[in-house]
């Protein structure tokens, strides 16, 4: 991990911001300096051009052949220390000079054409700007006007100092400002982090405060709160599950212990011992069954169950289940009717789906009164296959309809346990159906009682409902 990635967002933001600002300011300052310099030199060149024209107009040949300043003395640059005028004859002999241009080298007369020429010259460590051109002062001469660049350079230097000194100052001020702003903007995140740190596993009911749910931090706090709510409910479920599982495991163990103690309390005949051991084994079976179911559910949760999915005829599978459970219904003089459309094919793991149907039909038998009817229907609707099991039992109150599929949830624990129920049948059924891409739900039955529905994606969607093909009835009372 680099020190950069270890730095806080605040520091990284400020650094980025300052670096970008610095770059922008350097570009801006450079552009400003170049523009100002260009403007200054343009002004100087304009002044030289004016000087040139003035000199052309006011220099005239004297009677003795010399060139003299004939015009207004105000324009004579003779007394100026920062400008000068020089004239050379065509043969290169200097014939006039005034002002402070003495230190300047003579103009290269031969090279001078009719074109005027601007030049920057350094003489005696002084910068000069000159304008040289040919002119007619009585005769053809070379005229050069010059102005010192020193003042202009001084001004440019001042501009440069302002820019160079101002730049770090602005950057430092902006950096400090940026840091303070970033700190203020990110302070709620620090606050959020310290609040979140406070919420440990045993304080999962607490929530983060959301000062403004519309801004980014408010939305983040909202998402964390939703996650906390889900965590809390998972923790609750886990706690309930552990408590319920221990309770369920303890019951058969205490029964085994009770039977064993009662068996040992007095001397018995071999037949009596066999009976005691038989009862104990029954409880052991119950225990084994419970542990197996729990293990399967936990494999289901972990997603380690390998499903072998294939085309399954739902009607056929339902008839198989009903015929194997028929004996239970017969014991209770119940009538199981199966109304199944042919060729309702779904892609599912046959054994897993069979278990779901078995658990639901088994419940219908267990919780319906004796000599009642249980109607099982299999049909297809658009792109779904629907299996429904309707009984005439007590039904399931609306408030329990979701929880009934939870592990160990029972409406009447004593009765269910007496009937051999573990409270896991519907949990397994839900897992089995969902693992096959379907859904299971419960509703009020058409004739009272409950109706459980398993809905699965249909292999070949149909366009209209096909009438039931076969009705099977098992058991019954006369
Ligand atoms: P159990 O092993 O107790 O049957 P299940 O998970 O299969 O566990 O069912 C959970 C509870 O739902 C049962 O204890 C029972 O109270 C209720 N229940 C399930 N099916 C029916 C039904 N067809 N009619 C009424 N109650 C039912």
- Nearest 5°: the CA angle 109, 47, 149 is 75
| pLDDT, position 72 | 61
Predicted structure pTM score = 0.58
Q: Is the dihedral of CA 319, 321, 323, 325 positive or negative?
A: negative
Pocket test for ligand 1, best of 286, 393, 405, 426 (most atoms within 8 A of CB): 426
The CB density around residue 224, as the number of other CB atoms within 10 Å, is 17
DSSP 399: G
| Digit-coded pLDDT (tens) for 81-125 | 788 888 888 788 888 888 777 778 887 655 555 678 898 989 888
Residue 259 CB-half CA count within 13 A: 18
Q: Counting atoms of ligand 1 from 1, which one is nearest the CA of 420?
A: 2
- Nearest 5°: the CA angle 340, 346, 349 is 115
Residue written as tokens 């059924």?
429
Q: Counting atoms of ligand 1 from 1, which one is nearest the CA of 363?
A: 20
| pLDDT, position 242 | 87
Give me the domains of the chain, ranges plus CATH numbers.
Answer: 10-156 (3.30.450), 217-302 (1.10.287.130), 309-475 (3.30.565.10)
Distance of alpha carbon 466 from alpha carbon 47, whole angstroms: 104
DSSP 449: S
Residue 113, classed as helix, strand or coil, is: coil
Quote the distance between the C-alpha of residue 292 and its chain's center: 41
**Alpha-helical regions (H) of 303-412:** 314-331, 350-367
Distance of alpha carbon 280 from alpha carbon 163, whole angstroms: 97
Question: Which residue's alpha carbon is nearest to atom 4 within ligand 1?
Answer: 421
Nearest alpha-carbon partner for 103 in 78, 84, 119:
84
Measured from CB, residues less than 6 Å from any atom of ligand 1 are 359, 363-364, 367, 391, 393-394, 396, 404, 409-412, 416, 421-427, 450
Pocket test for ligand 1, best of 329, 336, 363 (most atoms within 8 A of CB): 363
| pLDDT, position 439 | 96
Q: Which residues of the chain have pLDDT under 50?
A: 477-478
- The beta-strand segments (E) located in 231-278 are none
DSSP 408: T
């Amino acid at each position: 991990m680099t020190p950069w990635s270890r730095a806080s967002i605040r520091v990284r933001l400020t650094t980025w911001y300052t670096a970008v600002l610095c770059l922008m300011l350097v570009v801006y300052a450079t552009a400003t300096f170049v523009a100002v310099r260009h403007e200054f030199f343009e002004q100087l060149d304009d002044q030289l051009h004016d000087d040139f024209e003035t000199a052309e107009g006011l220099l005239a040949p004297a009677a003795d052949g010399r060139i003299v300043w004939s015009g207004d003395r105000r324009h004579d640059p003779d007394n100026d220390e920062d400008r000068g005028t020089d004239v050379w004859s065509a043969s290169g002999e200097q014939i006039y000079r005034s002002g402070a241009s003495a230190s300047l080298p003579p103009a290269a007369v031969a090279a001078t054409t009719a074109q005027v020429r601007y030049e920057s010259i350094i003489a005696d460590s002084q910068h000069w700007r000159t304008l040289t051109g040919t002119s007619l002062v009585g005769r053809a001469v070379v005229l050069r006007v010059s102005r010192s660049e020193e003042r202009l350079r001084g001004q440019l230097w001042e501009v440069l100092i302002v820019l160079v000194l101002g730049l770090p100052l602005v950057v430092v001020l902006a950096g400090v400002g940026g840091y303070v702003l970033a700190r203020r903007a990110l302070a709620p995140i620090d606050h959020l982090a310290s609040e979140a740190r406070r919420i440990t596993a045993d304080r999962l009911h607490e929530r983060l405060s959301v000062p403004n749910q519309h801004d980014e931090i408010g939305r983040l706090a909202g998402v964390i709160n939703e996650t906390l709510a889900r965590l809390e409910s998972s923790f609750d479920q886990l706690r309930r599950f552990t408590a319920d599982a221990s309770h369920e495991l303890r019951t058969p163990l205490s029964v085994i212990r009770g039977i064993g103690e009662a068996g040992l309390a007095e001397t018995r005949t071999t037949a009596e011992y066999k009976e005691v051991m038989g009862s104990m084994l029954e409880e052991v079976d119950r225990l084994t069954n419970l542990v197996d179911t729990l293990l399967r559910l936990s494999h289901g949760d972990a997603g380690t169950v390998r499903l072998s999915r294939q085309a399954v005829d739902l009607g056929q599978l339902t008839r198989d289940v009903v015929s194997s459970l028929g004996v239970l219904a017969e014991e209770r003089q119940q009538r199981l009717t199966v109304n199944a459309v042919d060729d309702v094919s779904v892609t599912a793991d046959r054994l897993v789906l069979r278990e779901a149907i078995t658990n639901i039909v088994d419940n219908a038998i267990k919780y319906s009164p004796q000599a009642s009817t249980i109607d099982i229907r299999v049909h297809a609707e658009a792109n779904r296959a629907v299996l429904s099991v309707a009984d005439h039992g007590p039904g399931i109150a609306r408030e329990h309809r979701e929880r009934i599929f939870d592990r160990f949830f029972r409406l009447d624990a004593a009765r269910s346990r007496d009937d051999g129920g573990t409270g896991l049948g519907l949990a397994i059924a839900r897992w089995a159906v969902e693992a096959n891409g379907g859904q299971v739900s419960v509703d009020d039955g058409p004739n009272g009682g409950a109706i459980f529905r398993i809905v699965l994606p249909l292999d070949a969607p149909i366009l209209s409902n096909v009438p039931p093909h076969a009705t099977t009835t098992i058991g019954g009372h006369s």
